[in-house]
Structure 1
Amino acid sequence: MPSLDPFFTEWAERRPGQTRSLGRASALLAALGLDADRTPVLGVVGSKGKGSTATTAAAALSAAGLRTVLVTGPSFRSYRERVRVDGTSVDDAVLDALGARIDAARRDLPTVEESGGYLAPSGLFLVAGLLRAREAGADVCVLEAGMGGRRDELRLAGPEVVALGKVFAEHVGVLGADVVEIAREKTLVAGERTRALVRLPQTPEVAAEIDAALADATGGRVGAEVVDPEAEGTEPPPALRPPGLSAASGVLGAAAAARMLEHLGIPGPDRRTLHGVLATVRLPGRLSRHTVPLPAGRAPGGEAPDAEVVVDSAIDRVGVAAALAHARGLWGGVDHVLLCLPDHKDVSGAVEVLGGLPVTAVRLPETHLRFEHALPPHWGRMDAADLTAAALAALGRRVLALGTVYFTGRVLEAVDAPTDRLFG
């Protein structure tokens, strides 16, 4: 088990009113020599689907023969998964070594009080990815932003190519007062080094704000390129896109990878090679299907069929409806739904979509999350600590698990899902 203190110490010790400090993060990058000597970066921002976009982009770049470091978050089962080389998580020893180097440089910085803020864990994993890329001789980094925008450490990395997913009203009041302001904030991850921004179709108001913000960030050098998943011939073909609502993210990731290859002057892979690698992409927690492990003492091949669970990080009405339709398409029906949505997610929308289905609401222990939204009285209740393979199997043979990534990671842990390798 790697030591996580270097990544979480300042966040855990933060005082009321303290915020993350990009100035401190910039000083850390300079102390590690990453302000100038760093691997080319493809940055991924958006309101949803960043992990699917980043993973597809990394797989497409690997198909072209590039050694690729991928940084995503949150993790599924282990923090090692936050940093991957060619789709595979670093091991404990590597993460420990990265953390030790970061911690040594951090200790030479001015204090948190002098810096005016702390180093955020998501930014420190991004720094770890940049370090690992340099050590491993990687050709390119694919870095997923946290919330994204000018206040995200990704901006400090200076992405040459930006992939901007669909923007909607997530983090209202944090990144902006409405979706237009949020779109502007996310676009401002671009900067002096940016040479291309590829985005999914947006509403006219959001598209106009993205164009204006991009012009401001790049001095008018860069114009947004729109990739439409519905256009005929768009890569990859539908059969090789991630399932459900993540399909558009796969298209965006492939398009952004193509722009990065153009920037680097490297020929793209032929379609057969590209499709072969994309066919290996696996996205845990994105409509992923898993067999629930047999209870102790039960031999395989018994009369009762194995229970299965489909796991998806749906957080709103649209996502829940898409996941329910997907599960019904696989199984013909759903025996039970596990749902874990804190109050700031679209709980009302999920309640409407799930209707009269048997549902158990799961409560997480994280103190910053609230679970006080009124729920149908016939729904069951469960604490996340009680989530085991046996508990899943007891709900039926066809279980749909939906909710925040903190929850879906626990489900993947319960069924011992493979999460260390995303492609290849």
Structure 2
Amino acid sequence: MPSLDPVVDPFFSEWAGRRPEQSRSLDRASALLAALDLDPAPVPVLGVVGSKGKGSTATYAAATLSAAGLRTVLVTGPSFRGYRERVRVDGVSVTDGELSSLGEAVEAARGELPSPTESGGYLAPSGLFLVAGLLHARAIGADVCVLEAGMGGHRDELRLVGPEVVALGMVFAEHLGTLGDTVTEIAREKTRVASPDRTQALVTLPQSPEVAPVVSRTLSEVTGGRVSPQVVDPATAEEPPRELRPSGLSAASGVLGTAAATRMLELLGHPAAAQERLHSVLGTVTLPARLSRHTVPGSTTEVVVDSAIDRVGVSAALAHARALWGGVDHVLLCLPDHKDVSGAVTALEGLPVTAVRLPEAHLRFDHDLPAHWNHVHAEDLSPTAVTALGQRVLALGTVYFTGRVLEVLDAPTDRLFDAS
């Protein structure tokens, strides 16, 4: 949590000062959008929701739109090395000065609202960065926005914006008990990000037999039967070609993002990029902490960083590293108790592992771990400490951890793709 930083305090101050009985307020967020004259949104919006892979989907969607010649604002979260990364133009982070100006505009409009105490809820950081993205899109004359939702859908600020196109990733039991008590309740929550009047299309990956009918039924309810889900199957999709898709489990997200952006172009009546141009731009996409490969500064040690949070993700990352290197010398793992710690332990059986604890007070790390695992605090990670683990290191865990690893490795994170 940032502290006493005038650049980012406007985005975090209400969240930091919230009381135990308060929750995020979409009514307050709606009032802020109105105060900033952002209701309706100043540009068409492609919204991204799902249980996992939203950042990859949003990045490929933005790259596809930028390749077609549209000036595209992309809002994703959380950030890795700095909050500038939350808002990008054609794949490149805004400057510190631009983020500061956006924060000042948000703060000025917030001052016109009743206090959080009077309104009964606070403005969430993720929603305020979404607002900043819309502000920046208007300021620079952008053609379209790609906005990644937080963990929700109907309870997310993205729903207030009313995306013209929704990209729905796989829905599974992530955030069970928070967004719903069953996976079908979670699917309903995420599908309800659609707008009754603005949403024209929902593009989805193939969902499980229990989720698919819920998505179709909910979308019909929300849009009065105007919109039906468009399913894009990575097994048969032609774009992007397999060699231009992300590695591992993110491959499907690349297909979804490209398909959703193509649908947006159709709705806008804008021609898609020529295939050669599209492939050229998609070939430059980098996804930090999604099986990204780095070298420790000043050494020959290589590190693959992935934000895997469950058994499936850890197993996929391990398979990727073994295919790349032939083996793994050491694994750094950081999973708080609410993630699939047991699944990760099973997947990493027989490997040397160091468990990493983050300092954030709201995260608990009390889960039983194998006795032979090492333990460190995230603050103690350094290039020297990572190099000492071997030549082939796999760093896995929550994005708050993988962002710290990217910082240690001095990995570039400001540009996600090159559309120049």
Deviation string for 1:222-280 (max 9, x for gaps)? 0000000001x521011000110000000000000001001111011111111010000
Correspondence for 2:398: 404
Structure 2, unpaired ranges of 5+: none
Query: What is the SS of the residue equivalent to 2:313?
Result: helix
What letter is aligned with 1:131? L
Distance between the aligned counterparts of 1:113 and 1:415, measured in 2? Answer: 42
Q: How does 1:126-145 map to 2 (within 5 A)?
A: 126-145=130-149
Correspondence for 1:317: 311
Correspondence for 1:226: 231
Correspondence for 1:16: 20
What letter is aligned with 1:317? R
TM-score by length of 2: 0.97
Structure 1, unpaired ranges of 5+: 296-305
Deviation string for 1:30-57 (max 9, x for gaps)? 0000002511100000000000000000
Select 2:291's aligned residue among 266, 274, 287: 287
Q: Is the 8 A contact 1:228 1:234 kept in 2?
A: no
Query: What is the SS of the residue equivalent to 2:24?
Result: coil
What letter is aligned with 1:216? E
Correspondence for 1:365: 359
Query: What is the SS of the residue equivalent to 1:205?
Result: coil
Correspondence for 1:265: 269
Correspondence for 2:166: 162
Q: Is the 8 A contact 1:148 1:154 kept in 2?
A: no
Deviation string for 1:172-192 (max 9, x for gaps)? 111000111000000000012
Distance between the aligned counterparts of 2:114 and 2:27, measured in 1? Answer: 11
What letter is aligned with 2:395? A
Select 1:38's aligned residue among 18, 24, 42: 42
Shift of 1:204: 1.3
Correspondence for 2:387: 393
Instruction: Report the identity percentage.
Output: 74
Deviation string for 1:363-400 (max 9, x for gaps)? 00111111000000000001000011111001000000
Correspondence for 1:302: none
Deviation string for 1:183-229 (max 9, x for gaps)? 00000000120000000011111001101111111111000000000
Select 2:206's aligned residue among 201, 206, 220: 201
Correspondence for 2:259: 255
1:394–1:383 CA distance, 2 compared to 1 (3 A):
same
Shift of 1:2: 6.1
Instruction: Tell me whether 1:112 sits opposite 2:106 in the alignment.
Output: no
Distance between the aligned counterparts of 1:140 and 1:393, measured in 2? Answer: 43
Shift of 1:68: 0.2
Aligned residues: 413
Distance between the aligned counterparts of 1:237 and 1:217, measured in 2? Answer: 34
Q: Is the 8 A contact 1:2 1:92 kept in 2?
A: no
Shift of 1:62: 0.5
What letter is aligned with 2:220? A
RMSD: 0.9
Select 1:340's aligned residue among 334, 341, 346: 334
Distance between the aligned counterparts of 2:35 and 2:170, measured in 1? Answer: 35
Q: Is the 8 A contact 2:333 2:353 kept in 1?
A: yes
